[in-house]
Amino acid sequence: MSARQVHGIVQPKSAASTILRVVLFAILGVFALYYLMPLMVMVMTALKPLAEIRTGTLLSLPHSPTLEPMLRAWDSACVGVRCEGLKPYVWNSIAMVVPSVLISTILGAVNGYALTKWRFRGAELIFGLMLFGAFIPFQVVLLPMARTLGLLGLAGTTTGLVLVHTVYGLAFTTLFFRNFFISVSDGIVQAAKVDGAGFFGIFFRIMLPMAPPAFVVTVIWQFTQIWNDFLFGIAFTAGDSNPATVALNNLVASSTGVKEYNVDMAAAIIAAVPTLIVYVLAGKYFVRGLAAGALKG
Amino acid sequence: MANVRLDNVWKRFGTNEVIKGINLEIDEGEFVVLVGPSGCGKSTLLNLVAGLETLSDGNVFIGDRKVNDVAPKDRDIAMVFQSYALYPTKTVRDNITFGMITRRVPKAEQEKALAQVSDLLHIDMLLDRKPGQLSGGQRQRVAMGRALVRNPDVFLFDEPLSNLDAKLRIEMRTEIKKLHRRLGKTIVYVTHDQIEAMTLASRIAVMDNGFIRQFAPPETVYEDPIDLFVAGFMGSPSMNLFKGRVVENGGIRLEVTDEEGTVLFPVPEPYAVAARGHIGRELYLGLRPETITREGTQRPGTNVFAFERMIDVVEPTGPDTMLVFTLGGLEAIARVHPEDKAPVDTMFRFEVNMDRAKLFDPESGMRIQPTASAI
């Protein structure tokens, strides 16, 4: 509710209510700080030279902030024996995330549309089974998936990882689009059928233009899930094809004598930035998409 | 132009029978209204004609063509939906031309059809708006426009007016009737509103529970209902029904008794022969509210009968006043002139036009048909 709407509502005014209000905001403030603290420590540590970290405390502000750890984390820190920073792995992640998100989202949209607007015998059962896919723990699919990728000749490649994420993501993307399209009146589809449009004609020209809220929700969800994934990344890629999350882990683990906390923190920030950007740019639409029914059952 | 013929049409959803063997012949250029309570299968029947549902059994013909397996787009029909079903992301212009675009109608022809229809429906100034920016009545017009540009053999309307407010509904009703006169196309129109059915139809098909009870012109459905269901469904307020025993007491009479005394309705001449066969048994007497008025106000020369009852409720509607009373334990309504009304809880002398009375068999629910000359 916006402040304007609250404004007109009559509220009791007394000393007690004022005190309660102050206490309320104080508690909220403490919680906000609690959640922001790790991020603050991360950012501050990443900006400090190594000497300052050793002498100062965790919470002290950087005296002479430097971007040097950022740059080192980006293109010269050592991940295992390869000292090119996170850069190549971030590109790996992008090469993996973009096709996975696009393919799984588009297939999910087609699935959701077919399951709601072209009901066929067993559609409910198929949806139920797909939904079940959303609850299968990652660990369960590791071995069969590794075997499948091996048979397909995709073991250890980014393409293989794209396949894994696309298949695993279908359960979620189908769910989102199914829940969105189910709220669209069947009459619209019937009208389009009478107007002479076919399955894909209706999909591309009537349904997709209505679905941006569902797209935003799905893309954000899929992007965050796939970018942040560690388990599939570490299980199905090797060395040079690792995504950023796995590389980050390896970077932190590769110690060459001195532990460079500032570089570690900077690398963590680099690995986290894309999801943050997506939230900042599209978060507004995410909430709107939720309200538009993309997530409600 | 084309006629529509349904030949023993069945529709089942699983074990649920929604349409139970319907035969219906709709003539070319006719305006047929399918009317009935919700769940009677009227929309399903329309969807079967449209091809939006598949038949379980039977045949559907449009013109000379059997269309059982013809897709909706190839049936040469246009449909207006209850929810209007406008494409929300398209402008009014694109909503109307979408069908022509999918059919690859030449651009010039599209423009011409669009101009014609938008002029006819007075939506020319709305063409660049989106459905969300239109009022209910405007949306309704756009939905009609989308159907009209198709220039089909048959128009199908699925409760097109039920989402409009009362005033607009009456306006659009007239517009649709004008449109039909102007285009002369076959129209199949579904509604649950019996007044819409009466005003629009050239013939009404009254449906109940998957069957067509009666298929006849509006006047016939109203004045000669085939059974209790049709009699009760058509007309608002609905027909008064009194349960009475057939007796012979100075002619054949129908005896209705309650704590206020006995009323002996004389059975009109055309029904006397049939009623005689029911002596000693019970029949329903059907009297439309407008046939019950204040004593002495019926047109001279009608076969009137007067009785007295207490007024329970007075409901003024403006042009008429409804007097609610109880007879034989059943509530009834008389439709009188406002100046004829009397206060609540007073005795009132009602007068009935017995020429318009109907008799029904309570067991079968069927109307007892008059013998010899009709009403």
A147 lies in the same domain as A202: yes
Summarised one tens digit per residue, pLDDT across range B216-226 is: 999 999 999 99
Q: Which two tokens stand for residue A172?
A: 């979620």
How many helical (H) and strand (E) elements, i.e. helices and strands, does chain B have? 9, 21
Average pLDDT for chain B: 92
Please check whether residue A23 lies inside any domain of the structure.
yes
Confidence of residue B326 (pLDDT cuts 50, 70, 90): very high
Is the CB of A191 inside 8 Å of chain B's CB atoms? yes
Summarised one tens digit per residue, pLDDT across range A189-230 is: 999 999 999 999 999 999 999 998 889 889 999 999 999 999
Mean pLDDT of B359-364: 93
Query: What whole-number percentage of chain A has pLDDT above 70?
Result: 94
- B321, β-bridge pairs: B316, B336
Given a cut of 80, whether residue A84 has pLDDT beyond it is yes
Q: pTM above the 0.95 mark?
A: no
Confidence of residue A60 (pLDDT cuts 50, 70, 90): confident
Closest C-alpha among A218, A221, A121, A224 to residue A174: A218
A20 lies in the same domain as A142: no
Please check whether residue A79 lies inside any domain of the structure.
no
For residue A117, give its domain range. Answer: 87-293
Is residue B143 within a helix (H) or strand (E), and if so which, with residue range?
helix B136-148
Q: What is the pLDDT of residue A75?
A: 87
Confidence of residue A297 (pLDDT cuts 50, 70, 90): very low
Collapsing DSSP to helix, strand or coil, B171 comes out as helix
Gap between the Cα atoms of A262 and A74, Å rounded:
12
Q: What is the pLDDT of residue A294?
A: 44
Mutate which: B98, B146, B154, vs A, most A CBs within 10 A: B98
Contacts A–B by Cβ distance under 8 A: 59
Mean pLDDT of A271-279: 89
Output the CA angle A220-A226-A229, nearest 5 degrees.
130
Q: Do B98 and A195 touch (CB under 8 A)?
A: yes
Q: Do B71 and A193 touch (CB under 8 A)?
A: yes
Gap between the Cα atoms of A9 and A31, Å rounded:
27
A99 lies in the same domain as A238: yes
A283 lies in the same domain as A176: yes
Q: What is the pLDDT of residue A150?
A: 93
Residue A185 makes CB contacts below 8 A (sequence gap 6+) with B83, B85
Please check whether residue A2 lies inside any domain of the structure.
no
| Residue B167 neighbours by CB distance under 10 Å | 9
Given a cut of 90, whether residue A133 has pLDDT beyond it is no
Please check whether residue A283 lies inside any domain of the structure.
yes
Q: Do A194 and B86 touch (CB under 8 A)?
A: no
Given a cut of 90, whether residue A63 has pLDDT beyond it is no
Indicate the residue of B82, B83, B99 with minimum beta-carbon distance to A196.
Answer: B99
Q: Which residue has the tokens 């058509």?
A: B234
A127 lies in the same domain as A208: yes
Q: Do B77 and A194 touch (CB under 8 A)?
A: yes
Please check whether residue A72 lies inside any domain of the structure.
no
Evaluate the omega torsion of the peptide bond into residue B237 and state whether it is cis, within 30 degrees of 0.
Answer: yes
Please check whether residue A77 lies inside any domain of the structure.
no
Which of A66, A97, A126 represents a domain boundary (last residue)? Answer: A66
Confidence of residue B215 (pLDDT cuts 50, 70, 90): very high
A271 phi and psi angles, rounded to 5 deg: -70, -25
Collapsing DSSP to helix, strand or coil, B70 comes out as coil
A28 lies in the same domain as A116: no
Indicate the residue of B50, B82, B86 with minimum beta-carbon distance to A194.
Answer: B50
Answer whether B3's CB lies under 8 Å from B26's CB: yes
Q: What is the pLDDT of residue B346?
A: 94
Indicate the residue of A188, A196, A210 with minimum beta-carbon distance to B85.
Answer: A188
What CATH number is given to the structural domain containing A237? 1.10.3720.10
Q: Do A195 and B84 touch (CB under 8 A)?
A: no
Please check whether residue A155 lies inside any domain of the structure.
yes
A54 lies in the same domain as A160: no
Gap between the Cα atoms of B88 and B282, Å rounded:
58
Given a cut of 50, whether residue A64 has pLDDT beyond it is yes
A146 lies in the same domain as A247: yes
How many separate domains does chain A show?
A: 2
A30 lies in the same domain as A122: no
Q: Do B73 and A193 touch (CB under 8 A)?
A: yes
In angstroms, the separation between the Cα of residue B182 and the nearest Cα of chain A is 23
In angstroms, the separation between the Cα of residue A213 and the nearest Cα of chain B is 13
Confidence of residue A295 (pLDDT cuts 50, 70, 90): very low
Gap between the Cα atoms of A267 and A83, Å rounded:
13
Which of A33, A66, A99 represents a domain boundary (last residue)? Answer: A66
Which residues of chain B neighbour A188 with C-beta distances below 8 Å? 85-88
Is the CB of A209 inside 8 Å of chain B's CB atoms? yes
By C-alpha distance, the chain A residue nearest B52 is: A190
Given a cut of 50, whether residue A1 has pLDDT beyond it is no
Given a cut of 80, whether residue A155 has pLDDT beyond it is yes
In angstroms, the separation between the Cα of residue A201 and the nearest Cα of chain B is 8
Average pLDDT for chain A: 87
Q: What is the pLDDT of residue B251?
A: 87
Please check whether residue A121 lies inside any domain of the structure.
yes
A36 lies in the same domain as A166: no
3-class SS letters over chain A: CCHHHHHCCCCCCCHHHHHHHHHHHHHHHHHHHHHHHHHHHHHHHHHCCHHHHHHCCCCCCCCCCCCHHHHHHHHCCCECCECCCCHHHHHHHHHHHHHHHHHHHHHHHHHHHHHHHCCCCCHHHHHHHHHHHCCCCHHHHHHHHHHHHHHHCCCECHHHHHHHHHHHHHHHHHHHHHHHHCCCCHHHHHHHHHCCCCHHHHHHHHHHHHCHHHHHHHHHHHHHHHHHCCHHHHHHECHHHCCHHHHHHHHHHCCECECCHHHHHHHHHHHHHHHHHHHHHHHHHHHHHHHHHHCCC
Given a cut of 70, whether residue B113 has pLDDT beyond it is yes
In angstroms, the separation between the Cα of residue A126 and the nearest Cα of chain B is 19
Gap between the Cα atoms of B235 and B288, Å rounded:
8
Q: Do A190 and B85 touch (CB under 8 A)?
A: yes
Q: Is B374 exposed, middle or buried (0-12, 13-18, 19+ CB in 10 A)?
A: exposed
Q: What is the pLDDT of residue A296?
A: 41
A60 lies in the same domain as A156: no
Answer whether B188's CB lies under 8 Å from B32's CB: yes
Gap between the Cα atoms of A53 and A260, Å rounded:
9
The residue type of A106 is: I
Answer whether A274's CB lies under 8 Å from A227's CB: yes
Output the CA angle B288-B261-B237, nearest 5 degrees.
20
A43 lies in the same domain as A92: no
Q: Which residue has the tokens 């059919």?
A: B103
Is the CB of A121 inside 8 Å of chain B's CB atoms? no
Answer whether B188's CB lies under 8 Å from B26's CB: yes
